[in-house]
């Protein structure tokens, strides 16, 4: 299949391009490089030894989307493009709503106008809010506390309504848990801009000596060691889940959790990183971060059954690959 990958030079998008190409599909990337670099296209080509088309365009711009679809014939779209920083979304709600919602609307509209049936959407476990883990696709979604989370919940609703009204348009909504790690080559990985907010990029920055220590946000949660528990998933497992989701799209809308089903605490991840890489990471326990929940992990039964997909890489591999990329990457 010839697949349009929006946000394909970004963190998850670039790894998914590798998996798509390795599965024999062709890839056209559309990215405005607002949070990524053009060199990533060459890295994807280097890893896969395949050609990739790249268009530097804004997919929240209707005319640019229309032009892209009129000049290419796509069999499917994987829509990663969007803004993703929770804290920033509280300061810049208009940017977040317009970028994340217009892109979804214009891409869905173009799919209908140009007869593209398969659409895969990047959603997030954030839509489950403070439900009781493990999170199941059938759970009632709880209101999110920030505009970023709201754009995911609204995009899911928009795509569901569009698919209901157009039988020729089918959607796979993927709710990601916490992707970390990098491609084993060390050529592509996560390049966070500015101050990192997520745990793994913060740990790698401490390991690099950019920061003195990690601040652990709270040790009084009701978890095994009092620190927050999350479902960390290797980004290559996540990438492979996208290929399965795309290939298995049939009709209507299906929602899938992409996680490992395993919870890991902040201190467990820290220890795993130290052991996997032979490093020591100083840390200090501080106050809880507002808006954080205690425990978040997936029920992965549906993806295992319907997509024949299961995450296979463990926490040590995630830590080793994240650090390999960080040590190889130069600005």
Footprint of ligand UD1 on this chain (CB under 6 A)?
Answer: 86, 124-126, 149, 178, 197-199, 202, 214-217, 228, 230, 266, 289, 291-292, 296
The dihedral region occupied by 46, where left means phi > 0, alpha psi between -120 and 50, and beta the remainder, is: alpha
The entry of ligand NAD, ligand UD1, none that residue 81 binds, CB within 5 to 8 Å by partner kind? ligand NAD
CB neighbourhood size of 39 (10 A): 11
Q: How far is the CB of 34 from ligand NAD (least distance, A)?
A: 4
Nearest approach in angstroms of CB 81 to ligand UD1 is 16
CB 85 to ligand NAD: min, Å: 9
Residue 305: name the closest of 119, 136, 128 by CA: 136
Residue nearest to ligand UD1 (CB): 228
Nearest-angstrom CA–CA distance, 195 and 156: 29
Contacted entry of ligand UD1, ligand NAD, none for residue 202, CB cut-off 5 to 8 Å set by kind = ligand UD1
Length of the chain measured in residues: 331
Q: Report, in Å, the least distance between residue 91 CB and ligand UD1.
A: 13
SS (H, E, C) 216-230: EECCCCCCCCCCCEE
* Shorter beta-carbon distance to ligand NAD: residue 103 or 262: 103
Catalytic residue among 148, 176, 202, 221: 148
- Residue 72 CA to residue 328 CA, distance in Å, equals 35
Dist CA 211 CA 230 (whole Å): 23
Task: In whole angstroms, give the CA distance from residue 13 to residue 82.
Answer: 11
**What residue number has its CB nearest to ligand NAD?**
10
Nearer to ligand UD1, 158 or 293 (CB): 293
The binder of 12, among ligand UD1, ligand NAD, none, by C-beta within 5 to 8 A per type, is ligand NAD
Nearer to ligand UD1, 65 or 214 (CB): 214
Which spans of this chain sit near ligand NAD (rule: CB under 6 A)? 6-7, 9-13, 30-36, 58-60, 80-82, 84, 99, 103, 122, 124, 176, 179
- Does an H or E element contain 90, and which? helix 86-91
Cis peptide before 134 (omega within 30 of 0): yes
CB of 253 to ligand UD1, least distance (A): 21
**8 or 228, CB closer to ligand UD1?**
228
Q: Which is nearer to ligand UD1, 18 or 235 (CB)?
A: 235
Min CB(267)–ligand NAD separation in Å: 20
| DSSP state for residue 40 in the 8-state scheme | H
Whole-angstrom CA distances from 150 to 32, 106, 319 are 23, 18, 30
Q: Which does 99 bind (CB under 5 to 8 A by kind): ligand NAD, ligand UD1, none?
A: ligand NAD
| Two structure tokens written together for 316 | 């040590």
Q: Cβ closer to ligand UD1: 114 or 215?
A: 215
CB 44 within 8 A of CB 34: no
Q: Which residue has the tokens 């080509």?
A: 45
Q: Is 176 a catalytic residue?
A: no
Tell me the catalytic residues: 148
């Amino acid at each position: 299949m010839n697949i349009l990958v929006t946000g394909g030079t970004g963190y998850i998008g670039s790894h998914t391009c590798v998996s798509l190409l390795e599965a024999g599909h062709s890839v056209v990337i559309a990215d405005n490089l607002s949070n990524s670099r053009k060199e990533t296209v060459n890295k994807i080509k280097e890893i896969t030894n395949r050609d990739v088309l790249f268009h530097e365009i804004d997919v929240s711009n209707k005319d640019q989307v229309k032009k892209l679809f009129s000049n290419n014939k796509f069999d499917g779209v994987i829509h990663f493009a969007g803004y993703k920083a929770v804290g920033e979304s509280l300061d810049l709600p208009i940017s977040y709503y317009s970028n994340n919602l217009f892109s979804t609307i214009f891409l869905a509209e173009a799919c209908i106008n140009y007869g593209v049936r398969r659409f895969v959407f990047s959603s997030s476990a954030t839509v489950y809010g403070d439900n009781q883990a493990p999170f199941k696709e059938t759970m009632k979604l709880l209101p999110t506390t920030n505009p970023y989370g709201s754009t995911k919940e609204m995009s899911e609703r928009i795509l569901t309504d569009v698919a209901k009204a157009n039988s020729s348009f089918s959607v796979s909504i993927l709710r990601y848990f916490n992707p970390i790690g990098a491609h084993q080559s060390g050529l592509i990985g996560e390049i966070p801009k500015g101050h990192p907010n997520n745990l793994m990029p913060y740990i790698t920055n401490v390991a690099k000596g950019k920061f003195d220590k990690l601040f652990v946000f709270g040790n009084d949660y009701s978890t095994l060691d009092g620190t927050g528990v999350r479902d960390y998933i290797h980004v290559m497992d996540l990438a492979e889940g996208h290929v399965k989701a795309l290939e298995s799209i049939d009709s209507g809308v299906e929602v899938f959790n992409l996680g490992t089903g395993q919870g890991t605490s902040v201190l467990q991840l820290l220890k795993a990183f130290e052991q996997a890489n032979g490093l020591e990471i100083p840390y200090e326990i501080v106050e809880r971060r507002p808006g954080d929940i205690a425990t978040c992990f997936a029920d992965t039964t549906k993806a295992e059954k319907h997509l024949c997909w299961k995450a296979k890489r463990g926490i040590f591999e995630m830590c080793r690959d994240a650090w390999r990329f960080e040590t190889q990457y130069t600005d």
